[in-house]
Chain A
């Protein structure tokens, strides 16, 4: 009887506790933050911009006719990210919902100054989405987020879809937050982030954003940009992408585009006393996509020439890219340091300290093997002209 009494008391004491509903979210006030932007404003203060999604019915459910803005952007200045977000909350009067953020955008100005002290927010806050993509905006984030127009109502959705696609991966060099964050503190594998800028040639009133080029970081600071061809090479060398396209100029006026799939790359360090050599072994299968002049693939000599020039181009591109990274920017965006760490852990311990300095002295030895596989629907040439004319 006593226990029954005790049990009842216990149960009753639970009841008032359960009245709280603490972690409940006011679902109707919930607003999805589609992208979060960080930048420095002209006064060199941290400016946070967020893009909010105004939920609309999907078009298939008759939501096409709805007359409402589908996005809204807010920005505020603050000492910390949270500080600025507080201000934004006062402006937007909604409960901001971060777990489905598609894109984290960082302004070039902030990135050049260095991200130290800012990114801690993303490590610590349990609501942040580690799967969101990182982009570096060449123009102020506030403008980029506020004015961008895409085919879809929410631009960040479009960007995410592009960055997620396997097909474009080598070109974009897409990186997710969970990959980006640790690389900021790693010397053996520095971060490289795709850039975003408004494409010219569309006029002022139409803002089409292009995801292109690659921002290269040394630790937490942006040090430079790689152009599209280099971006692709970085993606291949770091093992992030295994396919891509490549164009080769054979003779004067003959340019051939190749589709490379798959591209297998192996980095091997060779130690010779103090000297370190980076051996790049690349095996690729290439197929012709298009050519500006007639090709005679039946001719073995021509074929050999084609392969040789493709190999040469790839070799030159590899050397160019790696030297640009290692010598000009002194950063290791292809993860060579980590390769050494894995293959020769004891050596890495010594190298680790002055790795950035040592990068300048590293020599690259590409070893490239290309196999021609497909040549499209045609076998021999570009366009076979009329027989009579040929004669």
Chain B
């Protein structure tokens, strides 16, 4: 920094009179630390054939754009322009009537210029001119819109968000073509300068929620935002809580529906995951697809999800709790077959359940990270080794395999990945409680979870809303997917 100042200040002062092109170029290059991905293109402008140079960072600009909107107008159309340094209007004229790019601006210092360059702008330097023209030629390769891998649908739109914020906003705007949509952009991250945008529908949004979200976003102090989860954790209500209080989705139709409900979406550049606030437990158990299916089917599926949620949390714990504390609750025939299946199994019930659950979690993690082709191999090994051989060898009893499989299936019914994760952790906690105090322990655990759930909020909305506090209409709507002809006005 000091070296930079020492070497450049005298030359800059000198160039204030008549900056030579080389000096200008040099200034920018040193500002960027002589990084090697700077590209330049020399040419001449104006009647006087004044040498000029275009500077940009490789890969950040769209070369077609650069060619047709910047380079070719300068070369072909600037011949009649008076570009002499004495002409104060020269640069203005250049950007107003020659360049056909969508956005241009004038910058005066190399620092300003470089900060635009890292965002994909091209800088035009002209000999003798102190000011520079910056042209927006942003354009880099992006992934094309395709089906989100985190949420598949049977019926419903198949497009998913991509990594570009502008594209994502457009995906939402395509669905809700209303002038009421508001986008509030800002930049976060002292190094990464990530663009984020708040998106909401002006006449439906809950003002208090919007104010709260704005306040929380403005308070974020972070150096880099690489994914929306960074923001999620910073604006979450109870940071220590296991439960997600921010909804994240990859699907534009989901976001469109939610902002129509009056919620606020936060889009982050560089990730296809969009955050939506507020988010309650029942939001996490709903899916957008519910709205695309016939209402009886959707209601049924939703109930299965509720049951799946509870089973994931309680099934292994209840199994252990009942067997080692209250075996009298098991119907006689069932008890007899469990007893005979456990004959000769070396592990106690708790250890067996814990082992199997951990194995399952391991398998799950392994298959998520593996490439698709290896994934199937893992599932074969898992099914064969654990499901078949362990039981055959008498190491694990078959009822506990059934329990673990049931828990696994239930956990897959939870649509939200983050919720399913926290429930799977709590499952182990419940298992421990059950092993110490049996069903009474489970009740104690449920009480603690229940009190926690009733206490936490998501930007002012109670997490268990609309059931506690109970709001009749909304509760019915969360419990049953009402057909469209009954819910008249709003979503």
> Do A and B interact with each other, yes or no?
yes
For chain A, residues 74 to 100, give those with C-beta under 8 angstroms from any C-beta of chain B: 97, 99-100
Question: Cβ of B328 < 8 Å from any Cβ of A?
Answer: yes
For chain B, residues 311 to 337, give those with C-beta under 8 angstroms from any C-beta of chain A: 323-325, 327-328, 332-333, 335-337
B440's nearest neighbour on chain A, judged by CB, is A23
Shortest Cβ distance from residue B440 to the other chain A in the assembled complex, whole angstroms? 9
Question: Cβ of B455 < 8 Å from any Cβ of A?
Answer: no
Are the C-beta atoms of A97 and B327 separated by less than 8 Å? yes
Q: How far is the CA of A116 from the CA of B327 in the complex (A)?
A: 31
Contact (A55, B336) CB under 8 Å given A21-B435, A21-B436: yes
Are the C-beta atoms of A55 and B324 separated by less than 8 Å? no
Are the C-beta atoms of B341 and A57 separated by less than 8 Å? yes
Total interface residues on B, using CB and 8 Å? 22
Chain B hits for A175, CB < 8 A: none
Are the C-beta atoms of B336 and A27 separated by less than 8 Å? no
Are the C-beta atoms of B328 and A55 separated by less than 8 Å? no
Question: Cβ of A25 < 8 Å from any Cβ of B?
Answer: yes
Shortest Cβ distance from residue A61 to the other chain B in the assembled complex, whole angstroms? 7
Contact (A32, B332) CB under 8 Å given A55-B343, A57-B337: yes
Question: Cβ of A24 < 8 Å from any Cβ of B?
Answer: yes
Are the C-beta atoms of A27 and B340 separated by less than 8 Å? no
Q: How far is the CA of A30 from the CA of B340 in the complex (A)?
A: 11
Are the C-beta atoms of B340 and A55 separated by less than 8 Å? yes
Are the C-beta atoms of A30 and B336 separated by less than 8 Å? no
Shortest Cβ distance from residue B309 to the other chain A in the assembled complex, whole angstroms? 27
Contact (A61, B327) CB under 8 Å given A21-B435, A32-B332: no
Contact (A27, B349) CB under 8 Å given A21-B436, A55-B340, A97-B327: yes
Q: How far is the CA of A25 from the CA of B328 in the complex (A)?
A: 11
Question: Cβ of B438 < 8 Å from any Cβ of A?
Answer: yes
Question: Cβ of B166 < 8 Å from any Cβ of A?
Answer: no
Q: How far is the CA of A99 from the CA of B330 in the complex (A)?
A: 10
Are the C-beta atoms of A63 and B340 separated by less than 8 Å? yes
Chain A hits for B337, CB < 8 A: 55, 57-58, 61
Question: Cβ of B339 < 8 Å from any Cβ of A?
Answer: yes
Residue-wise interface mask of A (28-63) relative to B, using a CB-CB cutoff of 8 A (1 in contact, 0 not): 101010000000000000000000010111100101
Q: How far is the CA of A183 from the CA of B340 in the complex (A)?
A: 38
Contact (A99, B435) CB under 8 Å given A55-B339, A63-B340: no
Are the C-beta atoms of A100 and B333 separated by less than 8 Å? no
Are the C-beta atoms of A27 and B342 separated by less than 8 Å? yes
Are the C-beta atoms of A56 and B323 separated by less than 8 Å? no
Q: Which of A21, A53, A129 contacts B336 (CB 8 A)?
A: A53
Contact (A25, B327) CB under 8 Å given A32-B335, A58-B333, A100-B332: yes
Residue-wise interface mask of A (5-26) relative to B, using a CB-CB cutoff of 8 A (1 in contact, 0 not): 0000000000000100101110
Shortest Cβ distance from residue A226 to the other chain B in the assembled complex, whole angstroms? 31
Q: How far is the CA of A99 from the CA of B331 in the complex (A)?
A: 11
Contact (A24, B336) CB under 8 Å given A18-B436, A55-B343, A57-B341: no
Are the C-beta atoms of B335 and A28 separated by less than 8 Å? no
Q: How far is the CA of A97 from the CA of B339 in the complex (A)?
A: 12
A102's nearest neighbour on chain B, judged by CB, is B332
Are the C-beta atoms of B323 and A27 separated by less than 8 Å? yes
A sample of 4 more A-B contacts (CB under 8 A), given A18-B436, A24-B325, is A24-B324, A27-B327, A30-B339, A61-B337
Binding site for A on B (CB under 8 A): 323-325, 327-328, 332-333, 335-337, 339-343, 345, 348-349, 435-438
Can you list 16 A-B pairs with a CB-CB distance of less than 8 A?
Answer: A25-B327, A27-B339, A27-B342, A27-B348, A30-B339, A32-B332, A32-B335, A55-B336, A55-B337, A57-B341, A58-B333, A58-B337, A61-B337, A99-B328, A100-B328, A100-B335
